[in-house]
Structure 1
Amino acid sequence: MRKSRFATVIGVAAAATLLTITQASAWPTENDLATATSGPDNLEDCAPATSGSQACFHMFGDWFSAKDRAKDGYSAVALWRAKDANGTIMRGGNVWNKDGVGTTRWKNKNLPDGYYVDWASCLGDYATKRILEGSCGPMKRIINQ
């Protein structure tokens, strides 16, 4: 009986680990450093700002911008996902601005036309590439054309 329980516990733990790995690796996360100090001149669409960041997307040219709004020691991050019509995430990632408070940095991406693009303003630790839990504002959505 004891061996049976142990085998069950090990089996459940292995299945949970496999499920976590499978879900986490379903699509790659692109981590990009935004280095351009200027971007396109067209209209931008911004996700709701947080106290520390503002992330915007420029559909014409697929530019993301991340503005650092607070002297808090964290980087501003544009967290984004490109989804097909079924809602399946095809690509996703983070555009990092590590240049400090008051700066806006830009990164050009080549995203497929006709996909939904969701993005949010977040804060993170650039050294570890980790988004701070609870730091993201609500996601914004646009159909990339």
Structure 2
Amino acid sequence: MPSTMIIKKSRLATLAIAASAFTMIATSPAYAWPTEQDVATARPNPDGVPDCARATSGAKACFDEFGDWFYITDRYKDGYSAVALWRVKDANGSVMRGGNVWNRDGAGTTRFKNKDLPEEYYVDWASCVGDYATKDILEDACGPMTRIINN
């Protein structure tokens, strides 16, 4: 086989790999914004009454706007961690901040994380499960997003 033919095949393979990588990035899930990764900790229950996102079989994530507390409950012994997937948006819908708060302490535990989020912005969050070691949220393991205006 002539060497020009090998070079052409090599370039085609490189282009195919690049196109595949671009497709993977372009079709990533809607929650693929830059993220802050936090671990929730055991502490006394904060004083407020949280609003909760719809729970999944493995997780329940709640947010208390008085003090910006996330509550994350691991509901099922499945080998995965419960995680609150969250983002803060301005009035135009632009994501200002976003992240994940992980409860890595196992089934039956509720853990808490305080975040200093801006006032008068939308806070969206969902209950999810994922692999804490890799920080991967399972694609189909999130409930719908819940929204509140953070006062």
TM surpasses 0.5? yes
Picking from 81, 96, 99, the partner of 1:93 is 99
Do 1:78 and 1:121's aligned partners in 2 also have CA atoms closer than 8 Å?
Answer: yes
Asked whether the equivalents of residues 27 and 92 of structure 1 are also in contact (C-alpha less than 8 Å), the reply is yes
| Corresponding residue for residue 3 of structure 2 | none
C-alpha displacement at 1:43, in angstroms? 1.1
Provide the C-alpha distance between the structure 2 equivalents of 1:59 and 1:99, rounded to a whole number of angstroms. 24
Matched, 1:78 2:84: yes
Please state how far the C-alpha of 1:27 moved relative to its aligned partner.
Answer: 5.2
Question: 1:103 is matched with which residue: 109, 132, 138?
Answer: 109
Match of 1:122 in 2: 128
Moved over 6 A (4+): none
Cα separation, 2, equivalents of 1:27 and 1:67: 23
1:43 to 42, 49, 53: 49
| Normalised TM-score (structure 1) | 0.83
Q: What displacement does 1:52 show?
A: 0.7
Match in the other structure for 2:22: 17
Instruction: Normalising by structure 2, report the TM-score.
Output: 0.80
Question: Higher Cα Rg: structure 1 or 2?
Answer: 2
Identical positions, percent? 69
| CA distance, structure 1, for counterparts of residue 147 and residue 113 of structure 2 | 18
Structure 1 residues without counterparts, runs of 5 or longer: none
Task: Tell me whether 1:135 sits opposite 2:118 in the alignment.
Answer: no
Aligned residues: 139
Give 1:40 deviation, angstroms: 1.3
Superposition RMSD in Å: 2.8
What secondary structure, in the 3-state scheme, does the structure 1 residue paired with 2:72 have? strand
Equivalent of 1:28, from 29, 34, 43? 34
Range 109-118 or range 32-41, more displaced: 32-41
The aligned residue for residue 64 of structure 2 is 58
Distance in 1, Cα, partners of 2:93 & 2:55? 24
**What is the DSSP-based 3-state SS (H/G/I as helix, E as strand, rest coil) of the residue aligned with 2:140?**
coil
Rounded Cα–Cα distance in structure 1 between residues aligned with 2:76 and 2:22: 38
Report the 3-state secondary structure (helix = DSSP H, G, I; strand = E; otherwise coil) of the residue aligned with 2:139.
Answer: coil
1:108 Cα deviation from its structure 2 partner: 0.3
Question: Unaligned stretches of 5+ in structure 2?
Answer: 1-7
Q: Is the 8 A contact 1:38 1:105 kept in 2?
A: no
CA distance in 2, matches of 1:131, 1:100: 16
**Whole-angstrom CA distance in 1 between matches of 2:47 and 2:102:** 21
